Amino acid sequence: MNYTPNDLQNLTFKRSIRGYSEDMVNEVLDKIIEDYTAYIHENRELKDKLEALNQAIQHYKNIEESLQNTLIIAQKTSEDIKKNGYLKAENIIKEAELKAQKIINEANQEVMRIKYEYEETKKRLHIYKSKAEALLHSQLEALRSVIDDQDISTVDCFNTADCVNIKE
């Protein structure tokens, strides 16, 4: 049976012929009551402290859980940012490649246009040279026929700068 301090205080012993000294027993009981009361008080304080510590532990567990969730969210956000960064980089590279290909295609078309113009100009020059050559040949033939019709003295006139009159 567990005694409370009140039980101990109200406890009475039977007397016997050779019993213990009542003062001495009361003194011991007072001391036990005092110690027992102190232990109960200390036990209550320890239980209160334990409860407070359990609440603190629960508080810190909540904080830990919150921090873990925050860390998970931060990691996911970081991965999303990296993924988006890689996607943007790939898009930029693809756009740059497309622009570069477009520039190359335009440059190739310009080269082809210039080559075509060059060939056309070359053909026109060849035609012009042929016509000029034909004109010069026809003029030369006309001069030869005029010269053949004239006498030899007139032909000598062409060779000298002093001749002024050409006979027909």
Residue 1 reports pLDDT greater than 80: no
Burial of 83 (0-12, 13-18, 19+ CB in 10 A): exposed
Calculate mean pLDDT across residues 105-118. Answer: 96
On average, the pLDDT of the chain sits at: 85
Number of other residues whose CB lies within 10 A of the CB of residue 29: 16
What distance in Å separates the CA atoms of residue 6 and residue 29, rounded to the nearest whole number?
A: 11
pLDDT tens for 130-165 read 999 999 999 999 888 888 887 555 545 555 444 544
Q: DSSP string covering 122-134, please?
A: HHHHHHHHHHHHH
